[in-house]
Amino acid sequence: MTDLRPLVDLWWNAVADFSAYVREIEPSEWHEPTDLPGWDVAAVVAHIAHLEGVLAGTPHEPVDIGEAAHVANPMGTYTEQGVVARRERTREELLEEIALATATRHSELLLAPPDPTAPAPDVFGLMGWDNRTLLSNRPFDIWMHEQDVRRATGRPGGLAGPVAEHVIRVFQRSLGYVVGKRTDAAPGDSVRLVVEGCAPVTVLVGDDGRAKPAEVAEPTTTISLDREAFIVLAGGRRSAEEVAVAIEGNEDLGRQVAAGLAVTP
């Protein structure tokens, strides 16, 4: 448990922050659209209730989702079923479901810590994650959805703190993949990513075409963003044309990186 306890604590804090913010939502905001196609605020809250319920032992309900243009793959079908199954539930009912499920799961994790490398409960029905990966994903997912709801209701916040730092670090680790796989960067090119309030991350493209973390005095390209801009780009919520991105050096490479930052499914 020593290995997983920090992730459990991050998840527990993310749940508390998400639930506290949902309690602030006005009835008139409950069906405000979010940046997630087809999902309003209510759907996002239902989604969290669904996944946390499944992790706590509530069976997934495979309901008919009808014609849903925003559903493009089996994972999307699975998550949409959880939302549709809860469509008639009130905010209070969804918050109660989240509270009961997460309290149950939290107690289980503290009393019977799982093996970090053992297969995790298959929350999406197809992931094949181990327990460490799942426990890293839960605070990530919940915090990202809190941000979705905050943008939809026009009340930014929660962009600092341990959970936010965790999410940003996870996204920063994908920079090498983005540069190496989604751009035409050549061997010797380097890209530095500067996110407001965070240590910069730099990758260098090697002769094999792979981009790996490296110390580079003068990178080919430097991309600078504030925290919210980075989150909505990396999270696939908005395009590079919709947020403020500052590029120094090779602007073409910088634009390619910004356009390829979205790494969430």
Which residues make up the CATH 1.20.120.450 domain(s) of the chain? 5-156
pTM of the model: 0.95
Cα–Cα nearest to 168, from 234, 265, 257, 262: 234
Query: Looking at residue 126, what is its pLDDT?
Result: 59
Q: How far is residue 71's CA from residue 65's CA, in Å, rounded to a whole number?
A: 9
The residue whose two tokens read 């197809």 is: 126
The sign of the dihedral angle between the CA atoms of 170, 172, 173, 174 is positive
Q: Give whole-number Cα distances, 67 to 38, 43, 77, 86, 208, in Å.
A: 11, 16, 11, 17, 45
Query: Looking at residue 230, what is its pLDDT?
Result: 97
Cα–Cα nearest to 219, from 211, 227, 228: 211
Query: What is the chain's pLDDT, residue by residue, as a tens digit (265 residues)?
Result: 558 999 999 999 999 999 999 999 999 999 999 999 999 999 999 999 999 999 999 999 899 999 889 998 888 999 999 999 999 999 999 999 999 999 999 999 999 999 999 999 877 765 788 999 999 999 999 999 999 999 999 999 999 999 999 999 999 999 999 999 999 999 999 999 999 999 999 999 999 999 999 999 999 999 999 999 999 999 999 999 999 999 999 999 999 999 999 998 6
Query: Looking at residue 182, what is its pLDDT?
Result: 97
Cα–Cα nearest to 105, from 58, 143, 55, 142: 55
Torsion of CA 175, 196, 141, 34, to 10 degrees: -110
* Identity of the amino acid at 160: A
Q: What fold does the segment set 5-156 form as a domain?
A: Four Helix Bundle (Hemerythrin (Met), subunit A) (1.20.120)
* φ, ψ at 225 (rounded to 5°): -145, 155
Query: Looking at residue 125, what is its pLDDT?
Result: 64
Question: In angstroms, what is the C-alpha Rg of the chain?
Answer: 19
Q: Give whole-number Cα distances, 16 to 94, 244, 254, in Å.
A: 14, 31, 37
The residue whose two tokens read 């730092």 is: 165
Q: Which two tokens stand for residue 237?
A: 């919520």
CA angle 169, 197, 224 (to 5 degrees): 85
Q: Which two tokens stand for residue 43?
A: 């759907």
Q: What is the second-level CATH architecture of the domain 168-260?
A: 2-Layer Sandwich (3.30)
- Asked if 202 contacts 211 with a C-beta cutoff of 8 angstroms, the reply is no
Contacts of 214 (CB under 8 A, 6+ apart): 190, 202, 203, 204
- Asked if 29 contacts 41 with a C-beta cutoff of 8 angstroms, the reply is yes
Which residues make up the CATH 3.30.1050.10 domain(s) of the chain? 168-260
Helix (H, G, I), strand (E, B) or coil at 167: helix
